Every structure is written in C-alpha cells, then in structure tokens.
Chain A
C-alpha cells in the first residue's frame, strides 16, 4: 500500500523531526522547507549518528540530515552511514536551503579585520579573505561565530553568518567594501522508515554493487536504465571491501519512483544479472534551486571536436606530441600556434 506523502508513516501533522543540534543552525531552519510533513516539530539531538540510530530503531520517527553542499559535493559520511550501517532507513524527501551570507559586527560601524565563521563558510569566503588580507578564525557554527562577536571577541572581529542569525544576536552589517559574500546552498534529506509515496515527479537513490568488478560492469548497469529511458541525476563510485575482496559499488540517483514499473523492471534485470541492490530512498524531486559547485563554467582546458585542430590532435595523441619535450600536449600545440595559454 502506498502512503500519501503527507499522511502516515511519520509524516503526520506535528511530527517530531530530529536534527543534529544545537538549535539555531541551518539544519533546524531547513526543517521549515519540508513539504511532506505538516507543522513539523524540530527536536535537536547531539550528532548526525544519533539521528540515524534513532530513526533506524524507532518506527514512525523522522530525522533531517545534510546530504550535499557546494564545497564537498555529496556527503559520503552521511550516505555511507545510511547505506552500510542501516538496513531500514530511507530518504523520503529532500530540500535545498539557500542562505545568503552576510558580515556582522558590533554597532555602530563594524569594519572587518578578522572574520570568524564555520570552516565551511570560511572556505567559500577564501577569495575575498585573501584579497583583503583579513585574518580568519574558525567557529563551530555561524551562531557560535556571532556569539563570539557579541561577547566582545575583539575590535575588528566580524562574523560571517546568514542574516537571520546575525540579527538574532543584535549585530549589524560590516561596512567593508569588497566583501563578496557567498550564497550557501545545502541539500538535506528527511529520513524515515519508509520512502515517500509516488508523486509523479520523483527520484530514487540506489546503491548497486555489480556481480563482478570488471571492465563494462557499470555500462551494463547503466544500460538497464537507459533502455527504459530512465535518466540519471547523479553517479558516484565507492570502493568497498567485502571480506577480502575489493570491489566498487555505485550510488546512483535516477528519475522515477521505485514503485514505477520501468524502474522495477530495471532493478529486476540488475538482480537477474547477480548485482546486489539497496534502495536508499524515493522522494519527490525538489523544485527549487540545486546544489552546484562553487565554480562557474565548464572544466577548464577541455578540448572537444570543435577545438582547434592542433589542440585536439595533441590531446588525442599525447605521448608522441608531448613526451619528447616533457610538456603537456595542449601546451605544445599552443606553443606551435604561438599562443600564450
């Protein structure tokens, strides 16, 4: 029986949603974005592992855990825990929290000489921190950073935090010019003991371990999806050790719901090929912004069939072109053309 996405199975009105505390963090704010739980009641627990363990042992319980961010991509420690350490925890919804960072200091006119924030936020701010010659200090959270500033952490100390957090500590925006503060997008997963019911615009997350770790095994897996017109939205290999044997499993997110006939057929085909299969979740596709790498544009220095003929030839015949001179092939081709690279 398929459950209504807003109905039972832990998603009823006023359901408690565990999150890794403390209160006031992005993790808690993300709970307000949930669409399958009416009026969720956020309840902090110490760490992510507590969220996973509680949901794994408690029918009807729900938890929210971070899944992906711009800097780290998909969070392997969280997905690994769900995949390898639990057999009955499923992702049933994903949301993306988008927060614009701001610089906050003590009134009346704070000017940053040292910035304090969570290490992840500081990493995203590294370009302007370096450009402006600022010092940086790490804090456990953006709320902690604001607390340090509020408690008089020193003249010129400015916290990088979302607007709501900075203002909640009574801080005011810094006056520096050139603070190019990032927008942070974080994808979260609502986890429970069952997946979400089909909505018609869904994603299913799978872990597939082919029968043999050999050339072509991934292609065989992908063929089962492509011949049924099932699009993939992410793919990541993960090396595993089972007993004494090293092999790879693949985390694959595919468009469609695990209860859809084409996807069920694809999964049955994979099992008939002796692959091992774990469903990590099925959930409605998030209609808003996606989490992206912090870099704009395509991979730098790629070559394609539209590239300059010399560049392309050098890229496709690198040993002959490059090894004699110990240079990178594309560079030699550019040098022949008089390019500066």
Chain B
C-alpha cells in the first residue's frame, strides 16, 4: 500500500510535496519516522531537490548511495532534467536509455516507476512510460503521472477513467483533487469551475500558497473568462518568483487575451528560450512558409 496514504506517517510530507512547498519538504525532520518509511521520505526529499532544480544536491546524495535502486532512479531523473535544462540532447537520450533499462529490470519498484516514468514520458516514450506506471500498486504519484501522460496524448477519456478510479480508493487526497482538476481543465464547461475551486483553495490559503497553485488558479480563471481576477493571481505568482518562465509565458497569454497588444509585445522577448517561445517561433516560421504559397502583386 502507498505509504503516503491518508493514515500513513508520511501524509504531511506527501501533501507538502504536492502543494509545492518544497522547502518544507526538505526541512522535514525524518528522524522520528519508522524505518520502513525513511527511504520513501528521503526519496521525496530528493524529488523536492529536483523540483527546485538543485540537481547537484540530489546527485551527490545519490552518488553516496550508489547501487540502491531507488537512488539510481533519482539519479537518472536528475541527469535527465539537468540535461534538458541545458538543452543537451545526447545526455537526454542517454538518460532515456538508462531509464528504460532500469525500468525493465526493476519495474516493480515504486520509485523507479515514478522517476523513470517521468524520464520516459519526457522523452516521447509515452507508451513505455504508461506500461511501466501501470504496474504501480496504489501509488497516487504514479496515477497522477498516468493522468498527465494521457492528457498530453489528448486522451481525455482515459485520463478521466483513471481519475475516477483513483477517486474511488484515494478519496479526497490532495493529489487526486489536483489530477482531477487537470482533467477538468480539459473537459471544460462546469468542470472549469470545479478545477478553479480546487486551485483557488490551494492558492488562497496562506499556508499552501505557491507559485504553482497561484498559476493554476490564474489559468483556470483565464479559461473561465475572468481575466481581471486571473491577472491578480498571476501578479501574485510573479511577485513570488519573478523569473519563472511559466509565469511569464502565461502572463503573455493573458495580455494577448486581454487585447493588450503593446504590453504583450514587450513581454514576448523576455521569454527567450522557454518551450512556449520555441513553439511560437516555430509557428512563425510555419506562417511564413504558408505565406509563400501566395504571390501577391502590388500596384506601383
């Protein structure tokens, strides 16, 4: 059973992690935990390092525990994320291969499932990732990943099914709520509102406020057409982390949505390297290519 489930010792830690309160995860005192829970807790802390882009910290811990499957999995993921941040394509491929290998060997290990699943999903091996993750035994993290992969593949129906079955056994667990909200954001209609409630609850309680939750709230508001409210939430997020690329990207979307052309034009260059900017740049090329098909004549 999942050691993070509602009655487990690690509930708080797990909740912190998914509320994105990574510093709180890292400063969590592991000493009073029972021995069987120490390992999952440590892995969770390592994942918090990864979330904070502190790869070297994670890697050094893993190095000193080399040979233990869980730590190896973390190490692979850390290397993958590091490589991805640097745009180092060959390292990414290498990490993917490592992940695949470890998955075949130790596919029943929950840590391997989650971390290697992440790497595989991130390197376009979604089917392999799904196969690996489906072997989970009551791990909500795995379920959340599965849902996200389904959504990335635009399989709303499967994502929904997964969320529903998770809701049955995990009930009101925070992660289920969040994952359900991801699904809801795709589904739309009244579901937007439910997603908004979940995100807003997280974002507006001072204890659980984080950039991610604020951003999620802002996005749900954008989808609901409440641009002003969304702007306020985004501003809050930007105050917390002015350099966060996702915040900037969504700010650009919001400005565009609101028809604020000049401000949007100003915001765009700030986005240099991010995936969103790359996508836009690609689209621009596509546009110019499409223009080529027409040969306008101009009068003198």
A and B bind: no
